[in-house]
C-alpha cells in the first residue's frame, strides 16, 4: 500500500471537502492508504456519517493544533510542533507515510519540508512545480513562487527537476524546456537569465531557449523555468486576465436581450473552456527538491482538487519521481 498523509486542518474550505477528497481518491486508487491528520472531534463524525470506507484503508492521526494563514513560517517549527502540518510531515520523515498533501499555509509547508525532511543532496533550493493548462494541453511551470532571488544554479536545478517530473508523472520522454525571458534573442534578458542561458543550453538536452510571456499559453514546451517572483506574477496575471475577460464578456452580454439569447447558446462553449482551464484537474503542485513528496494545494481546494493532489502524490511514489530527481541532478 502507498500511504499518504493529508493535512485535514489546513485550507479555506470546511473539513468535509478535504475528507471527501481523501475518500474519493481511495475509490480511484486501490493501492492507497490515507492518514487523516487533524482534529478527531471534527473528523470522526464526518467519516462516520457521510462516507462508507473500508476502515483498513485510512486512519485518523489526532491533533488539535493547526496552523493559520497568518502564522509566520519561520516560527511554526518552534511554536507549533503539534500542528497537523508538522505531524503529517513527521509521518513522512518516519517513513510511515510516503508523501504529504496540504491546502494550508504554503510558506509553512515549505519550511516544514525543508527542516523536517531536508533537501535532496545536490539541490540548493526546492522549487514549486505547477501544472498549467495551455492551448494544446498543459505545461509545468517551475518555480511558481518558492524562491524570489536566485542564481543560475537554481534555474538549472529547476530545469532538471521539472524535466524528471514530466518524464515520470506525465510520461513525456524528452521534455522540452524553456527559460522565461523578456525576448527570445540570446542577448536579451536580465543578469540572471543571460547568465543562465548558456548553462541551460549546455546542461539540459531538451532546452529550447527563451520563451516570452505571450507564448506561455501556446503549449510549445513542456517545462517553463523561472524564478519564483516571476512565476508568481505570470500565474496571477494569467488568472487575472482570464477572469477579467470572462467578467467583461458577461457584462457585455447582459446589456441586451439578444445578447442573453446568444449567451444561452454559447453556454456550452464557456463551460468547456472553463473545464479546460480548471486548475483542480491537476490537483496540486509538488515542492520538488525536498527529500520526500510534498504537494502544495490551493487554499480553496475542494474535494476534486484534494482527490487529484492525493492521486498525484501516489503516482509520484509509483513512478519514483524523487529517486529520479536525485539521480539526474
Cis peptide bond N-terminal to 143, omega within 30: yes
* In the complex, minimum distance from the CB of residue 245 to its own copies, in angstroms, rounded to a whole number: 5
Only segment of 26-34, 75-83, 267-275, 292-300 that touches its own copies (CB under 8 A): 267-275
Identity of the residue, 4 or 180, whose beta carbon is nearer to its own copies in the bound complex: 180
Only segment of 56-64, 180-188, 287-295, 309-317 that touches its own copies (CB under 8 A): 180-188
* In the complex, minimum distance from the CB of residue 66 to its own copies, in angstroms, rounded to a whole number: 20
The answer to whether 303 and 292 have CB atoms below 8 angstroms apart is: no
Q: What is 62-97 written as a DSSP string?
A: E--B---TTS-HHHHHHH-TTBHHHHHHHHHHTTS-
Identity of the residue, 50 or 184, whose beta carbon is nearer to its own copies in the bound complex: 184
Closest to 325 measured CA to CA, from 201, 103, 93, 140 = 140
* In the complex, minimum distance from the CB of residue 125 to its own copies, in angstroms, rounded to a whole number: 14
Strand partners, 59: 35
Binding string, residues 139-178; x marks residues near its own copies by CB under 8 A: ------x--xx-----------------------------
Identity of the residue, 90 or 301, whose beta carbon is nearer to its own copies in the bound complex: 301
Q: How far apart are CA 167 and CA 176, in angstroms?
A: 11
b/e burial code for range 61-95 (CB count within 10 A of at least 16 → b): bebebbbeeebebeebbeebeebbbbbbbbbbbee
Is 285 in a helix, a strand, or coil? strand
* Binding positions for its own copies, 199-258, rule CB under 8 A: 212-218, 227-230, 232-245, 247-249, 252-253, 256, 258
* In the complex, minimum distance from the CB of residue 261 to its own copies, in angstroms, rounded to a whole number: 6
The answer to whether 226 and 143 have CB atoms below 8 angstroms apart is: yes
Closest to 328 measured CA to CA, from 174, 129, 122 = 122
* In the complex, minimum distance from the CB of residue 45 to its own copies, in angstroms, rounded to a whole number: 35
* Binding positions for its own copies, 4-43, rule CB under 8 A: none
Binding-site size for its own copies (CB under 8 A) equals: 57
Distances (CA, A) of 255 to 87, 247, 271: 54, 13, 21
184 lies in the site for its own copies, by CB under 8 A? no
Identity of the residue, 11 or 133, whose beta carbon is nearer to its own copies in the bound complex: 133
Residues in the site for its own copies, rule: CB under 8 A? 134-135, 145, 148-149, 180, 182-183, 189-191, 193, 212-218, 227-230, 232-245, 247-249, 252-253, 256, 258-259, 261-266, 268-270, 272-273, 276
Amino acid at each position: 500500500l502507498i500511504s499518504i498523509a493529508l493535512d485535514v486542518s489546513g485550507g479555506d474550505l470546511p473539513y468535509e471537502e478535504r475528507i471527501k477528497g481523501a475518500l474519493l481518491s481511495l475509490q480511484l486508487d486501490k493501492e492507497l492508504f490515507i492518514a487523516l491528520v487533524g482534529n478527531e472531534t471534527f473528523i470522526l463524525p464526518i467519516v462516520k456519517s457521510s462516507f462508507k470506507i473500508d476502515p483498513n484503508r485510512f486512519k485518523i492521526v489526532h491533533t488539535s493544533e493547526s496552523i493559520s494563514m497568518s502564522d509566520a513560517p519561520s516560527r511554526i517549527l518552534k511554536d507549533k510542533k503539534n500542528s497537523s502540518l508538522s505531524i503529517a510531515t513527521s509521518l513522512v520523515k518516519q517513513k510511515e507515510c510516503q508523501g504529504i498533501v496540504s491546502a494550508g499555509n504554503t510558506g509553512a509547508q515549505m519550511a516544514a519540508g525543508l527542516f523536517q525532511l531536508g533537501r535532496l543532496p545536490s539541490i540548493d533550493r526546492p522549487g514549486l512545480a505547477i501544472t498549467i493548462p495551455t492551448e494544446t494541453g498543459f505545461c509545468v511551470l517551475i518555480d511558481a513562487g518558492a524562491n524570489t532571488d536566485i542564481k543560475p544554479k537554481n534555474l538549472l536545478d529547476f530545469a532538471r527537476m521539472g524535466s524528471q517530473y514530466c518524464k515520470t508523472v506525465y510520461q513525456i520522454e524528452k521534455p522540452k524546456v524553456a527559460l522565461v525571458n523578456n525576448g527570445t534573442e540570446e542577448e536579451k534578458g536580465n543578469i540572471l537569465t543571460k547568465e543562465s542561458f548558456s548553462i541551460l543550453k549546455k546542461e539540459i538536452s531538451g532546452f529550447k531557449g527563451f520563451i516570452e510571456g505571450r507564448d506561455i499559453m501556446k503549449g510549445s514546451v513542456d517545462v517553463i523555468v523561472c524564478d519564483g517572483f516571476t512565476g508568481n506574477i505570470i500565474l496571477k496575471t494569467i488568472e487575472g486576465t482570464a477572469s477579467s475577460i470572462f467578467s467583461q464578456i458577461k457584462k457585455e452580454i447582459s446589456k441586451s436581450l439578444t445578447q442573453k439569447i446568444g449567451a444561452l447558446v454559447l453556454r456550452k462553449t464557456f463551460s468547456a473552456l472553463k473545464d479546460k482551464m480548471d486548475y483542480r484537474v491537476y490537483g496540486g503542485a509538488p515542492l520538488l527538491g525536498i527529500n520526500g513528496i510534498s504537494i502544495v494545494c490551493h487554499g480553496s481546494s475542494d474535494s476534486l482538487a484534494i482527490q487529484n493532489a492525493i492521486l498525484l502524490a501516489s503516482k509520484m511514489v509509483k513512478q519514483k519521481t524523487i529517486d529520479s530527481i536525485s539521480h539526474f541532478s
